[in-house]
């Protein structure tokens, strides 16, 4: 396997692990980037971006990264809070008056960030066209009654997370979340990272494939399936179905809970900018903002009765048995295809792994790379 890029000598174990992932997991195409103290120390890529054509994975290849979008939206929300434009503990209705109906009057942005708002799924079934039009989803959220008393328990808010926080961003800034992210963060940093992929960028898009033996989703009436597919508007994984996750029509829409497209380099740079700043530049999030983000909001048994081992802060996955990272200041999010990105201001790290072979639950590729980063930092 021809691997490309480079790694600082100190971070050689990350390069070794990246190569072994191709051997051990049948990796198709992938990339990993690491920043340390604001400087790039690992930038590696290899394999195949499109299995149909044999197109190689290039240094500027981008790929759908699913719920890594939640980390992008959460950084935007934390940035607005840091600027004093959003109080995470104020009722959402302060910024979005129409939200305050059907028992949602006391819901705060922090409850949404911690998956505690009682809105993991919507009762209304919307078409793909309605979802991509944005406003019908907003109206459905306004009408929705929480499934539990907000704040008393949690459950993963698969798509509602992005739309609800995205509408808050829109109410405050006048921009949809994808547009705000580009203007406030991505364009200034030169990131190849989007919520709503422009048509001009589809030529460097990797094509997702499913690994053999990936377990199927439960039936359409399952609460989990309803959450992940927005009551069947999306097919999951449904990669090559109409409006599947290889479809430019889906990737070009703003699906802020799961529709981000990025390179590993840009996701790592985003978290490095948030945690430390890049190449001596200012950090996006202050130490106080990170401290706020990494305070645990949700863990243990969820509303559906599962304990997958995850811990949630305000918008981010925290260090846990499910997603081991570096320590108590690590904050990030993962994607359904195995992608993962996080930052850590204690260790000065911005990390991202992307790939196009979807393995499924228990995928160890990113975890092994993170463990290698920890080894390079002196962790055992």
CA distances 312 to 229, 246, 279, Å, are 22, 29, 29
- How much is the pLDDT for 354? 98
Q: Counting beta carbons within 10 angstroms of the beta carbon of residue 106, is it exposed (0 to 12), middle (13 to 18) or buried (19 or more)?
A: middle
Quick: pLDDT tens for 304-359.
999 989 999 999 999 998 899 999 999 999 999 999 999 999 999 999 999 999 99
Quick: pLDDT tens for 26-85.
999 999 999 999 999 999 999 999 999 999 999 999 999 999 999 999 999 999 999 999
Average pLDDT, whole number, for the chain?
Answer: 96
Annotation: CATH topology of 3-74+179-376: Beta-lactamase (3.40.710)
Quick: pLDDT tens for 11-31.
999 999 999 999 999 999 999
- How much is the pLDDT for 365? 98
- How much is the pLDDT for 322? 87
Q: Where do the DSSP E strands lie in the chain?
A: 3-7, 29-36, 39-50, 55-56, 63-66, 193-195, 209-210, 260-262, 298-299, 311-312, 330-334, 340-344, 349-355, 357-358
* pLDDT value at 167 more than 80: yes
- Write the DSSP string, 30-69: EEEEEEETTEEEEEEEEEEEETTTTEEP-TT-BEEEETHH
Locate tokens 């197109």: which residue? 55
* pLDDT value at 361 more than 80: no
* pLDDT value at 240 more than 90: no
* pLDDT value at 380 more than 70: no
How sure is the predictor about 188, in pLDDT bands with cuts at 50, 70 and 90? very high
Segment 193-201 shows an average pLDDT of 97
Q: Provide the residue ranges of all domains of the chain, joining segments of one domain with +.
A: 3-74+179-376
How sure is the predictor about 162, in pLDDT bands with cuts at 50, 70 and 90? very high
How sure is the predictor about 245, in pLDDT bands with cuts at 50, 70 and 90? very high
The residues near 221 (Cβ < 8 Å, ≥ 6 apart) are none
Segment 164-191 shows an average pLDDT of 98
* pLDDT value at 125 more than 70: yes
Segment 272-294 shows an average pLDDT of 97
């Amino acid at each position: 396997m021809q691997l490309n890029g480079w790694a600082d000598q100190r971070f050689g174990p990350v390069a070794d692990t990246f190569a072994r992932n191709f051997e051990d997991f049948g990796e198709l195409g992938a990339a990993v980037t690491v920043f340390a103290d604001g400087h790039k120390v690992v930038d590696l890529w290899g394999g195949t971006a499109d299995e149909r054509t044999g197109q190689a994975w290039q240094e500027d290849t981008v790929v759908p990264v699913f719920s890594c979008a939640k980390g992008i939206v959460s950084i935007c929300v934390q940035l607005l809070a840091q600027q004093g434009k959003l109080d995470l503990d104020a009722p959402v209705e302060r910024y979005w008056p129409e939200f305050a109906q059907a028992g949602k009057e006391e819901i705060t942005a922090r409850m949404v960030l911690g998956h505690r708002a009682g809105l993991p799924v919507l009762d209304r079934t919307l078409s793909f066209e309605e979802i991509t039009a944005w406003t019908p989803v907003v109206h459905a959220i306004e009408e929705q009654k929480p499934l539990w008393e907000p704040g008393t328990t949690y459950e993963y808010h698969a798509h509602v997370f992005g739309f609800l926080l995205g509408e808050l961003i829109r109410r405050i800034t006048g921009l949809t979340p994808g547009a705000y992210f580009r203007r406030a963060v991505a364009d200034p940093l030169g990131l190849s990272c989007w919520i709503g992929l422009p048509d001009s960028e589809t030529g460097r898009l990797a094509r997702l494939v499913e690994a053999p033996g990936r377990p199927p989703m439960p039936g359409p009436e399952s609460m989990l399936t309803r959450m992940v597919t927005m009551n069947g508007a999306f097919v999951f994984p449904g990669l090559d179905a109409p409006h599947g996750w290889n479809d430019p029509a889906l990737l070009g829409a703003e699906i802020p809970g799961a529709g981000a497209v990025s390179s590993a380099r840009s996701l790592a740079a985003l978290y490095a900018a948030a945690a430390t700043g890049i190449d001596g530049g200012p950090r996006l999030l202050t130490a106080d903002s990170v401290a706020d983000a990494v305070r645990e909001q949700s863990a243990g048994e969820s509303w559906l009765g599962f304990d997958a081992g995850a811990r949630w802060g305000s918008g981010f996955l925290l260090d846990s048995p499910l997603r081991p990272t570096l320590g108590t200041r690590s904050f990030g999010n993962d994607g359904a295809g195995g992608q993962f990105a996080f930052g850590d201001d204690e260790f000065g790290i911005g990390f991202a792994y992307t790939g196009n072979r979807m393995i499924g639950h228990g995928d160890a590729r990113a975890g092994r790379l993170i463990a290698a980063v920890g080894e390079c930092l002196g962790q055992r």
